[in-house]
Each structure stands twice: as structure tokens, then as C-alpha cells.
Amino acid sequence: MHDELTRVVVMVEGSLLQAVAFGALLREISSDLSVLTVARRLDEYRRAVEARVPDIALLDVRSLHPMLLQVVRRLRETVPTVKIVLVVGAIDPGGAREVMRLGVSGLFSGEADPRGLLRGLKVIGAGDVVLDGVASGLVFREPGGPVPELTAQELRILRLVARGLRNDEIARRLAISQSTLKRNLRPILTKLDATDRAGALLAAARAGLL
């Protein structure tokens, strides 16, 4: 059973109490996660990720400062299979674009709901990329560009995808079948000139649709 769990290394940029509380929260709200280590410093976090090679390396930080970007860059080189996920209190657009270029798998604002973050981690664990609505809007929106014309239903689907919901969860929310959902996803990708969900979310965020 343990082998089926998503193995996570966590770093919380804050007090020991905050770090312990965050790790305990993850354990409490999900039985699917195995929290291997909760670090408080970047060097401790980097060593833990490189030594234990978890499925997900989660960072809860105040800002995207240069030392953080350096650690992300190194981990992408040394342990490329690890999915790096950032929860950022104050998102700097330039820094966030940089971490996305480096290949992080998830970007969430500090306002992210814990259960929304958990849903996102499950999607990321399955190999997708997730940005929450606040993060994507702040980072990738480019005012003044052409806005793709999506139907109301397509917008609803797109925004549920951005929240990290799986196909079965989206279909249940919208009271449609999964096959109908898949048919509705195709024109969304076409209109946003994207080949996958991650590309669609980036294009939608740039257009201010999220």
C-alpha cells in the first residue's frame, strides 16, 4: 500500500511551528500523500530532494527570490523526474515566468485553499501541470492581446481544469459524461492554439480568461 502513495518532500519558509503545521495539514487532509521530510531551509530542502528523489517537491515560500530560482534550476538538472510545486505568498511576474520556463509542475498563490492545492497535487502526480487561477492571472496575463472566443460551457470547463480537477470530477460538476467532456475539450485546445492542458492554461491566462 505504501508504494502507491505519492511521496512528497516539503519546505516551508517560516517558523518551525509553521513548518510542522503545514506538514501535519497535508497528512491530515490526504491519505494518498507520504510526507518524507519537512525542511525549513533551502539547502536542507535541496539535499532532501536529491537524496530521496520524491514524486513531488513542494515549496511554500514568501517570494520568488534569486536563491530559490537557483535551487529550482539545480534540481531540474540533478533530479529531472521530480515534480516541483511552488506555493508563493507574493508572486513576482518575472520570477514566476522564469520558474515556469525552468519546468516547474505547479504554481499556486499563497491564497490557495489547502484542499484545492491537494487536488492540484493529485493532478500533478499524474503528470500534468497546474496553475491556480490567481497565480496564472498574475503571471501570464498579457492585456491587449487577442482574446479567443470560448462558449460559456468551454469557459466553465477551462476554469475547472485550472483548479486542478480531474476529468471525472469536471464531468460530475457539469452533469455531463466524460466522453462529452473530452469532445468539449478538443475545441478549447484548438481555439487556444494549444496541444495539451498546460498550454491551454497558459494561453487562457495570457488572454485573461482565468
Last residue of a domain, one of 106, 140, 174: 140
Residue 2: the pLDDT is: 43
pLDDT in tens, 96-127: 777 777 888 888 887 777 777 888 888 888 87
DSSP string spanning 162-185?
HTT--HHHHHHHHT--HHHHHHHH
pLDDT more than 70, % of the chain: 83
Residue 11, pLDDT > 70, answer yes
- Average the pLDDT over 130-148 and give the result: 61
For the full predicted model, state whether its pTM sits above 0.85.
no
Residue 161, pLDDT > 50, answer yes
Q: Are residues 8 and 101 in the same domain?
A: yes
Q: Are residues 36 and 123 in the same domain?
A: yes
Q: Are residues 90 and 162 in the same domain?
A: no
The one-letter code for the residue type at 1 is M
Q: Are residues 11 and 52 in the same domain?
A: yes
Residue 172, pLDDT > 80, answer yes
Which domain covers residue 177, as residue numbers?
152-206
Closest CA to 136 of 178, 184, 104, 167: 104
- Average the pLDDT over 42-70 and give the result: 91
CATH number at residue 169: 1.10.10.10
149 Cβ contact partners less than 8 Å away, ≥ 6 residues apart: 191
